[in-house]
Structure formats: structure tokens, C-alpha cells
Structure 1
Amino acid sequence: MTGLKLRMREELEQHYTKLRLDALNSANKVFDDPSVQLKLVNNATYAAFAQWNTQPNRIKDWDWPTTLQEWKLKFPKRFEAAAWKSNKLAGLALGRPTYAGSGLRLDYIEKAPITDIRLVETMLVALSAYATLLGANHIRIMHPVNTSVRDYYLSFGFTYNSGQDCCIKRL
């Protein structure tokens, strides 16, 4: 990568990191439970995530560290958030703007195997804040893992689009 492209990439990353932080800070002010905090993903997140792999009741086996590193290189406008409850990693979410830029996608979300956090509701607050900062007019939750999860998303006012296999909510 040339120096100019690298500098432009770094500037984009800094700009969107600030927007992500603003969205997460706004969301944190809304929560009734002060033990719940949304933060950007960092080394502490990766260390805490490693404990998830030892839990027998983990539903998905996504490789968050690898996926997040790939997305950090590919998508400077990405949405990323780590949910913490009482200083324990409670969930992770990752998304990006739609190709047209009119929406914000949530591509991955996973709750810690042992936690009582309401992760989807928590992340929707931050997603809405970030989508607003980006000028998006809708949120999409991509590829619900099954019909029960899809129906759960619908309970938050989303509608299901079978052609794109996603749940959509207008802002």
C-alpha cells in the first residue's frame, strides 16, 4: 500500500473509530443497569473471549479474533462492540454499512455462554446510534440462525425479507 493510501486509510479508521465511540458512549448513557457497558474491541476483549471456548454450552463457534482483524482491514466504517457486564465479556457484535450506504447491517452477534445480559436489545441501542451518525435510514440483521431467532428479532419491530435473508427495521 502506498504512503498516501495508507495515510488515507488511517484517517478513515480514526474518523469512524470516533463515530463508533460516540455511538457506544451514547448507548451507555441509556442503559438502566450501570454494570452494563459497551466498548470497542481491544486486547482485553480477546483475552476474555478465549474463556468462551471452554464453555460446553456455547451455541456458535465463530472465531471472533480472526474475523474482527479481517474486518478492521476491510471495513473502516464497520460497527463493532463488546458488551461487558460487571467487568465480564457478555457479548460481541460486528456489522457494516450496506453497499448502498443507506443502512447498517448487523452481521454477527453472540452472547457469552453464561450471562444474563439482554444482548440484542443492548446492541440495538448502539446500532441505532451509529446508524444515525452514518446517516442510515434502516438497520438489517443478517441471516438469522433459525426461525426462533428470526421471530425474536421480529419482536423488536423488524420485518423479515426472505430474498435477502435478513430482518429490517426503518429508523
Structure 2
Amino acid sequence: MREELEQRYNKLRLDALNSANQVLDDPNIRLKLVDSGTYAAFKQWDKQPDRIKDWNWPSALQEWKLKFPKRFEAAAWKNNKLAGLSLGRPTYAGTGLRLDYIEKAPVTDIRLVETMLVALTAYGVLLGANHLKIMHPVNTTVRDYYVSFGFTYLRGQDCCIRRL
């Protein structure tokens, strides 16, 4: 049963990423599922001093793969270099899709949030979600940046929300 769930939602994740790739304006940017090549590329910027957060993506994703078969995962590549990673999952009630982690490579000019929102929206629609959440903005500047995309900040939940 677990394997069937993983396969079913992996297909939906791929469909969402393929849809997002068709919509993106820059042909040099590709969204893909996270794989061993992603982990190898991540090591290139893992310990960069410019990183805001020190998330261990390989460990986090392995844990999420076990816990959340419906998870959202995406790696953004620009000119064949890893430019960003994101990870999320459906809300507990199953009515929304949340983005829990997003990180841009220390040296890249990709507009990562905009890029990932295209894929997150596509996946949310496939899941039947009625809203998106971006959880725990790292600071007020980042929070305000999310708000500029039509999200509303909910202080009590420390998240930004937008209806689909």
C-alpha cells in the first residue's frame, strides 16, 4: 500500500512539475524531482557562508519521503546548476498545500519563489487544495516578499496564506 501511494503521488508531482516547466518564461530553468544528482549538486553550496538557513536537505527529504507520501518536492535547475530546493505537504485537514522549506542557492539569479509557486499551485490544484500556505517566513523581509505575491500573513500560525 505504501509503495502504491508513493507511485500515485510521484506521478502527480511529476505532472505538476511538467506543467510548471511549460509555463516558465526561462527555457534555462527546469523543475525536477529531487534525486541523487540533486544531492551531489547540493554539496556544492551546502556550507556556503551566505546561507540564511543550514537545512540538511538530503536528511530532511528522506525523512519526509517516509512520513508524507503526498509531499511536494522540487529542485530548480538553471543552466544545469542546482538553483534551489523546496519541500512541502498537504495541510492536516487536507484542504490546502503548504510549503515548509524553500532555499535558493547562495549564488544564483533565479527568482526561486515565483518559480516554485508555479509548481506548488499546479500540485495544489491536482490535489484539490483550496489554498496555499508558506510556513514560518525566516524574517519580516521574506514575509513581506511572500505578501507581495498575494499572500496574507497570519501571525497566530506564522504563515502566509493565499486562496487558489
Quickly name the TM-score band, shorter chain normalised.
Answer: over 0.9
Supply the distance in 2 between the matched residues of 1:38 and 1:53 (Cα, whole angstroms): 19
TM-score using structure 2 length: 0.99
Matches within 5 A, 1:11-90: 11-90=4-83
TM-score using structure 1 length: 0.95
Supply the distance in 1 between the matched residues of 2:46 and 2:8 (Cα, whole angstroms): 33
Aligned-residue offset at 1:16? 0.1
Supply the distance in 2 between the matched residues of 1:28 and 1:66 (Cα, whole angstroms): 26
Aligned-residue offset at 1:54? 4.1
Residue-pair matches, total:
164
- Corresponding position of 2:108: 115
Aligned-residue offset at 1:57? 1.4
- Corresponding position of 1:160: 153
Supply the distance in 2 between the matched residues of 1:143 and 1:60 (Cα, whole angstroms): 12
Aligned-residue offset at 1:71? 0.1
- Corresponding position of 1:5: none
Aligned-residue offset at 1:55? 2.2
Structure 2: 5+ residue stretches without partners: none
Supply the distance in 2 between the matched residues of 1:48 and 1:106 (Cα, whole angstroms): 22
Matches within 5 A, 1:121-136: 121-136=114-129
Supply the distance in 2 between the matched residues of 1:65 and 1:129 (Cα, whole angstroms): 24
1:135-158 deviation line (CA, Å, top 9, x unaligned) = 000000000011000000000000
Supply the distance in 2 between the matched residues of 1:147 and 1:57 (Cα, whole angstroms): 18
Over 3 Å off, 4+ runs: none
- Corresponding position of 1:3: none
Q: Percent identity?
A: 81
Supply the distance in 2 between the matched residues of 1:93 and 1:53 (Cα, whole angstroms): 15
- When the two chains are superposed, the root-mean-square deviation of aligned CA atoms in Å is 0.6
Larger radius of gyration: 1
SS of residue in 2 equivalent to 1:123 = helix
SS of residue in 1 equivalent to 2:4 = helix
